[in-house]
């Protein structure tokens, strides 16, 4: 009986310790989707990606126009090679040229397919790299905020379950750090702008802007 009573006391003590520890934990939430969307670097990255994508698109349009012209020339050569009004020598000549032109068409098609595949992969890599860089900034600010305010756990309130339901169902407004994180991240924009303006005043020459390449 005494042994059982002793075990109950130990169990009660453990529950008390765990409960006390749980009460000292501080929780907060951040809507990472909103932070990412409203972070000024996200908009800059998006504009740069769109600009580069437009360069690729324009190049493809130009090259596709050349492909269309090659196909027209190839079709005309095949027509001439079968024209009974022409001599055998002329038809043979056009037939030979049609074969050469068909090879040019095939080469141009392969070139465009390869270009499109490579640029698609490049754009994905650029987008992934930019996203990782931006998320690294966000995580650093979240970690800094957690350390400064003593939060033990911070959850992403934009997360969804497999049923497409909110991962965090309820939380008090005082636990939401979203706006604070956004404000702090975007504060670096004004600081960076002031630094650049100061530096520009000290420099007499400016570097030429980079030109996007196809």
**In b/e form, how buried is each residue of 57-84, taking b as 16+ CB within 10 angstroms?**
eeebeebeeebeebbeebeebbebbeee
Those residues of the chain that have pLDDT short of 70 are 1-23, 190-213
Whole-number Å distance between alpha carbons of 158 and 41? 20
Q: Look at residue 14 in the predicted model and tell me its pLDDT.
A: 39
Cβ atoms of 30 and 181 within 8 Å: the answer is yes
pLDDT value of position 101: 96
Which ranges of the chain would DSSP assign to H, the alpha helix? 2-24, 32-38, 40-81, 88-149, 178-202
Tell me how many degrees the CA angle 177-172-23 measures, rounded to the nearest 5: 95
What pLDDT sits at residue 206?
42
For 35, 66, 125, 196, the CA distances from 193, given in Å and listed in that order, are 21, 44, 28, 5
pTM over 0.85: no
pLDDT for position 191: 57
pLDDT of residue 174: 86
Which residues are CB-neighbours of 40 under 8 A, at least 6 positions away? 185, 186, 189
């Amino acid at each position: 009986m005494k042994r059982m009573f002793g075990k109950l006391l130990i169990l009660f003590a453990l529950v008390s310790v765990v409960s006390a520890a749980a009460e000292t934990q501080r929780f907060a939430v951040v809507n990472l989707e909103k932070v990412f969307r409203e972070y000024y670097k996200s908009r800059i990255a998006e504009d740069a990606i769109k600009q580069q994508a437009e360069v690729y698109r324009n190049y493809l349009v130009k090259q596709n126009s050349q492909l269309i012209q090659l196909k027209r020339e190839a079709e005309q050569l095949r027509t001439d090679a079968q024209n009974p009004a022409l001599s055998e020598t002329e038809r043979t000549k056009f037939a030979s040229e049609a074969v050469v032109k068909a090879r040019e068409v095939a080469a141009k098609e392969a070139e465009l397919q390869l270009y499109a595949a490579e640029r698609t992969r490049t754009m994905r890599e650029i987008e992934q790299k930019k996203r990782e860089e931006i998320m690294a900034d966000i995580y650093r600010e979240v970690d800094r905020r957690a350390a400064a305010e003593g939060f033990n756990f911070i959850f992403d309130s934009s997360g969804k379950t497999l049923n497409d339901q909110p991962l965090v169902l309820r939380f008090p407004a005082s636990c939401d750090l979203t706006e604070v994180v956004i404000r702090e991240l975007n504060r670096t924009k004004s600081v960076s702008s002031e630094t650049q303006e100061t530096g520009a005043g000290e420099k007499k020459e400016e570097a030429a802007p980079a030109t996007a390449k196809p």
